[in-house]
Every structure is written in C-alpha cells, then in structure tokens.
Amino acid sequence: MEGETSWVKHRLDGITRDVGEFDTFSEISDEGNKENMALSLDLILPDDLLERILAYLPIASIFRAGCVCKKWNEIVSSRRFLCNNSHVLPQKPWYFMFTSSDEPTGYAYDPILRKWYSIELPYIKTSNWFITSSCGLVCFMDNDSRSELYVCNPITKCCKRLKEPFGSKFSDYSALAIAVNRISHNYNVSFVKSKQVPGNFFQWDLSIHIYDSKTMMWETPLTEVLSGWRGGDESIICDGVLYFLVYSVGEGTPENRHSLIAYNLSSRSPYGLLTKSSIPVPCSLTCGRLMNLKEQLVMVGGIGKHDRPGIIKGIGIWVLNGKEWQGIARMPHKFFQGFGEFDDVFASCGTDDLIYIQSYGAPALLVFDMNQKQWKWSQKCPVKKRFPLHLFTGFCFEPRLDIAP
C-alpha cells in the first residue's frame, strides 16, 4: 500500500497535461508567489485551521495546494485530512466526456471552476462500456464480453476488479447500477439482465443480480418472465429501491413504449410482481434517462410527438413522487435547437443538484441546475470529432478524495 504522504503526488503523475486553456491538476501558475504565501500562512495559522481552509477548496485546487510546498503536501495527503473533512470535501459533480474511439482518454468538466481536465480512466478500453456512478465511485463493465467489471475512484485512480455476475455474458440487454452508503462507504452493484425466450418474441427472461461489497458475493433475488416487455440498459438505485426502464415489444402493446419498474432491495418482492409494480412514464418518450439526485428519482426524457412517438419534439425533466411524476422543467426552445432537435436519443446523467445533457453527435454539453432552475452551456470541450461517424458520450461522478472501492 502506498504511503499516506505520497499517494496524492503519485496520482498526480498519472494525470496528463493538456495544451492551451485546458488545465490539468498538476498545473501551477506563479509557483514562487504561492510558496511565499504558504510560508507566511504557515507562520500565522495553526495547522488545524490551515487544514480546514484547504478542505473548502475545489478538488482541483486541493491537488494544486499539495504541490505548493512540502508541508501543504503532507496536509492534503494525510488520512486525517480526508477523514476529518469528509463532510466538507464533497464537490459539485463533474462530467467526463469521451468519443467512441478506442482511446480511453477523455476530459472531465469542473462546473465550479468551469474548466476541463484531461483524465485517463484505469482499465476501461472503450466508451462502449456500461458505466454508472455513486458517491465518488464509478462502476464500469465490458459491454461486449461482460467479463470485466470494475469499481473505481476516477480522481485517485484507486480501482478494484469485481467478479462478474454468473451468466452475465448471456443476455440481449443489460443495465448496471451502483449505490454507495455515504457513511460506511459500503456499496451494492445491481445488474439487470434481459434475454429473449427462445422462439417467442413477446416473452423475455429478466433476472436481477445484486453484489454486496461487505460479503463480496453476488446473489440473484429474482428471475421472472415478462410478456410484452423487455429490459433495457437504463437503471438506477435510489433510496434502497432499484428502478429500471422496460420497453414494449410486438403488437398490441400500450401506447407508451416505456414503463418504469421499481424493485425494493430490502423487501425483495416475490416472483410475479414486477409488471404489477410498474409505473407509467409521464408521456410518450423517445428515450428516458434515470438518475439519483439526493435520493430522489429523476428522469430526463425525449418527448415524442403524439401522432409520431418516435419523433422528438422536446426534452423534459420529471421527479417521481410516490407513483406520480412531477414535471420540473422543459428545455427551452433556444437550447433545444442548439442541442440537436432531430436527435431522438441522447446522453444524460446527474447527481446532487446538477443534470448534464449531451448530444451523441457533438461535444456540446448542457447543464441544468435543479435548485436554481437554470439552463447553461458548459465551457467548450476540447474533445475533437475525428471522422463523420464519431459519437460522443459521457457520465457524471462526484470528485472525492476520501473514498475507495
């Protein structure tokens, strides 16, 4: 295990330096002035007060502070700093964007400093992996072979490989989700698998697999055959409940092509109750994206036209209260035009009070603040489009120093 006083410096070595206006964590301007300031502050402030001040800095500034002088590096590198200030350290969620190329390098957007940082994720090989996050940890799984599953802190690069759920590679559709306990830092990973019943297009085998970090074991609490519905790739764990979208198949299905299923991870509903517990979506959707914002289930969806449900006419945001959807906001037309009004599907994720929405066809990133009810474009991302069919995607995560898988 790496020493307490060297782990931040070691992590800094793995973060690459970009050119131009896009900073990396290791970039420090006017180092001499900062060293003089550090000396004067060290003479005036006691260590515990200096530690508290540093804890209120944005994550990127904490990394920079660790490069100012030896004493500051010792402070921000210590476990005491992380443990004593864990209630202060949580930051606004960052958004990591990359393209559909085979390169795992991408850029993470800091909404506080409004800057992009070049970051390389460990182990992940392409952007076509299942990716989900919670409380500073990111879980990602190989989309093709389903034989590689990791939980990682993308800031510190601490990573752990998990044993993949039994039979995970034998499925037509899969959905991955993770939920981290903010006090104990234990976590659960869910894997919802959907496979067509041989010879029957209208029936689909659906199974739920749960990994517990305390026991380091998988269990399969439920398997069920759905008629007229299949699973997909969208799921989230929120306040102890696993939510996932199902999609109608075949003729004679309901007008809405999507429905939400809630599965209580504590009570473990018995067989045959999945479709009975389904919750209709608020309107006809071209796509739906689920997210956990402060233990509230939020959905961002493409609103389909009434007569042509596959054609998008807007993007809406809803919060689930009980079994009723409450409309929160609809993307203003000026943003919808700039976003890509002909894209019926898009990427979207969020945590805390920020929601990120991104078109697959361009690196433009739109941010919605749930508290202030404001829409805002992020700073331009340095990701470049290399050929016409290049797609862009991403995920958001909480930048944290005090958590490891």
Q: Distance (Å, rounded) from C-alpha 296 to C-alpha 113?
A: 27
Question: What token pair was written down for 27?
Answer: 């970039």
Instruction: Indicate the burial class of 44 (C-beta count within 10 angstroms; 0-12, 13-18, 19 or more).
Output: exposed
The tally of CA atoms less than 13 A away on the side-chain side of residue 397 is 29
For residue 39, give both structure tokens. Answer: 């000396």
pLDDT of residue 159: 92
Phi, psi of 12 (to 5 degrees): -60, -35
Give the SS3 label for residue 110: strand
Question: What local confidence, expressed as pLDDT, does residue 89 receive?
Answer: 53
- The pLDDT tens digits for 349-377 are 999 999 999 988 788 899 999 999 999 99
Give the lowest-confidence range in 79-93, 241-255, 292-306.
79-93
Taking the C-alpha atoms of residue 265 and residue 263, their distance in angstroms, rounded to an integer, is 6
Residues in the chain: 405
Distance CA 162, CA 106 (A): 24
- Three-point CA angle 314, 315, 320, nearest 5°: 135
**Cα–Cα distance for residue pair 276/83, rounded to 1 Å:** 44
Q: What angle do CA 337, 343, 346 make, to 5 degrees?
A: 105
Domain locations along the chain: 7-84, 94-397
Residues with Cβ within 8 Å of 26's Cβ and at least 6 positions away in sequence, in order, are: 12, 15, 17, 63, 67
| Average predicted confidence (pLDDT) for the chain | 80
**What token pair was written down for 277?**
């517990």
pLDDT confidence tier of residue 20, bands split at 50, 70 and 90: very low
Between residues 377 and 3, which one has the greater pLDDT?
377
pLDDT at residue number 19: 28
Averaged over 290-296, what is the pLDDT? Answer: 94
What is the percent of the chain where pLDDT is above 70?
A: 78
**Which CATH topology does 94-397 take?**
Neuraminidase (2.120.10)
At 3 the pLDDT is 40
Instruction: Give CA–CA dist 231/173, Å, rounded.
Output: 6
SS3 state at 67: coil
What residues contact 203, with CB distance under 8 A and at least 6 apart?
196, 197, 225, 226, 227
pLDDT tens digits along 37-92: 445 556 667 777 877 777 777 777 777 777 778 877 777 777 777 766 555 555 78
Average pLDDT (240-257) is: 79
For residue range 86-109, list pLDDT tens digits in order: 555 557 899 998 865 556 568 899
